[in-house]
Amino acid sequence: MLRRLSALAIPLICFSVLGLGNTGCSTSEDKSNVPVEEDLSSVNQLSQEDRIYFLQRTHFGFRPQDLQRLNQMGYENYLDWMLSLQQDPTLEAQALSATVADKDFPNTTEVARWWEWLMVHNDNPFQEHLAMFWHDHFATSDEVLDAQSMWWMFNHINLWRFHGTDNLRSLLYQMATDWVMLIWLDGYVSTKNAPNENFAREFWELFTLGADNGYTQADIVEASRAFTGYRRVLAANNAGPGRDQYVMVFDNNRHDNTSKSIFGLTLNGNSQQEYQDMVDLTLANKPVAEFICRKLWEYYVYPNPPQSVVDNLAGDLRQSNYDMKTLFKRIFLSKAFFSPTAKRSLIKSPVEHNIGFMRTTGLEVSPSRIDSSLIDIGQRPSQPPTVNGWPSGESWLSSQALLERANFLRDCVYYSHESAQSGVDVGDLIPGNKTSAPEVVDHLAWLLQVELEANQRQACIDYLNTDRNSGGNFSDPWNFQDPVDRNKKIRGLLYILGQHPSYQLR
């Protein structure tokens, strides 16, 4: 078993074993690579490469069974199924059973492990992948919740899991009145006598418009008066479900029911309805559609889109009365989504990297090991570091971050004794008619979507035909039929391929 890697180990493996010195992670984050115009018309036909790219971009990694389902259903039918975000009661029950002792009083570790378990096991991984986008965009952390309110985080995350493709107007209202958000940005202590500006400011700056984009400090002050009235109380039922749990209630006596002047318009005192009124007022008068379309394009296509793309998509979103499914289908059906500019343009986040490797290879580790790795690398679901969410892009490729990625791969590959890998034979990853050393290398590179140069491919083939003992390396011809040789060398090859620069891209 390998020890945890030192800072020197990654360059030793990546550069010495595979000779990666001239290979880097080339993305489209440089604005000079982005076209001035894009073709948003629908694609007519997709190649297998296009379909695999789509799965890589929207799921956590790519699995042959995902491709098979896509091919059987057809692309548009698959999109409809994927975007429906259906609830699977069996999956939901299994996730709680596997990770949570008492769903009424979970702790922060159980909440994170619950969602991580769902990411690994959900047959519609887009549901979790999109939920991570919204969780990052409307960033909230369960670190502000106490034991009596921690159960709210299940509902908060499920809002994005089950409603992430719903109408944007509805999503914004549910976000504004979400109990975790009311704690996170001090909405539950905002009253008519002491309105708190935190949520009003972030509602525009981070969630709907962007910094200094069409609102003033005076607007923030007035909006903070509209966002008043909620308070936290103990649940009425203290015997059974709900026992000693906190809930949020709206108290009209705490709400400012006087008129407000926002964007030069008058908002009359309207009790709890003013939360919805604020959403409607913002959508009707400000470029929310442009802001959201840009964020989604950068998450699923490439950074820094042309303004024409943003304007085109935003117009469609408004025309559909803010139906998010229509927007997603327009993006995922567009020729631009499958363009050379889009492919290999995004860097995997730690969650995408770690969850994707487990889903693709089947080499799963325990919930505790999954969670501890994401803590070490800085992207634990349910705990974004600030209201700005997590960093993105090359921020995830520091030397320490790459070290932690490699250490997680090591755990997946070499912790075969864990119960999560009970009965796993890595030989099952290889088709029965592709068992020679070159075929195994090519198939695993395809499975992980790693782009090997000729010398790197040969180094991998040589690896399968070599072993090592205390005396050094010696010739050991690859034998797929030998279960010991097969298990050791396929796992080792997965470990090497998973550190290739191209595997850091999606």
User: What are the DSSP calls for 39-104, one per residue?
Assistant: --SBPS---HHHHHHHHHHHTTS--HHHHHHHHHH-HHHHHHHHHT----HHHHHHHHHHH-S-TT
Amino acid at 105: F
C-alpha separations of 130 from 136, 155, 158, 317, 350 in Å: 10, 16, 11, 18, 15
CB 75 within 8 A of CB 342: no
With respect to residue 33, please indicate whether it lies within any of the assigned structural domains.
no
For position 251, what pLDDT does the model report? 97
Q: State whether 324 and 460 are in the same domain.
A: no
Q: State whether 253 and 363 are in the same domain.
A: no
Q: State whether 333 and 253 are in the same domain.
A: yes
With respect to residue 36, please indicate whether it lies within any of the assigned structural domains.
no
With respect to residue 131, please indicate whether it lies within any of the assigned structural domains.
yes
Residues of the chain with pLDDT under 50: 1-24, 28, 31-32, 239-240
Q: State whether 360 and 328 are in the same domain.
A: no
Determine how many CB atoms are found less than 10 A away from the CB of residue 457: 17
Last-in-domain residue among 318, 338, 358: 338
What is the domain range of residue 85?
80-338
In this structure, what is the dihedral angle of CA atoms 302, 307, 310, 313, given to the nearest 10 degrees?
Answer: -120
For position 220, what pLDDT does the model report? 98
CB 215 within 8 A of CB 286: yes
Structure tokens at 121: 């096991």
For position 243, what pLDDT does the model report? 62
Phi, psi of 261 (to 5 degrees): -110, 110
Q: State whether 193 and 243 are in the same domain.
A: yes
**Bridge partners (DSSP) listed for residue 231:** 249
For position 285, what pLDDT does the model report? 97
For position 13, what pLDDT does the model report? 46
Q: State whether 181 and 252 are in the same domain.
A: yes
The span from the CA of 271 to the CA of 268, in Å, is 9
Q: State whether 356 and 441 are in the same domain.
A: yes
Last-in-domain residue among 338, 357, 372: 338
For position 2, what pLDDT does the model report? 37
Q: State whether 265 and 366 are in the same domain.
A: no
Q: State whether 293 and 359 are in the same domain.
A: no
pLDDT digits (tens, 9 = 90+) for 295-322: 999 999 999 999 999 999 999 999 999 9
For position 147, what pLDDT does the model report? 95
Q: State whether 380 and 313 are in the same domain.
A: no
Q: State whether 498 and 444 are in the same domain.
A: yes
Domain total of the chain:
2
With respect to residue 39, please indicate whether it lies within any of the assigned structural domains.
no
Last-in-domain residue among 302, 317, 338: 338
The span from the CA of 408 to the CA of 11, in Å, is 16
For position 473, what pLDDT does the model report? 86
For position 395, what pLDDT does the model report? 93
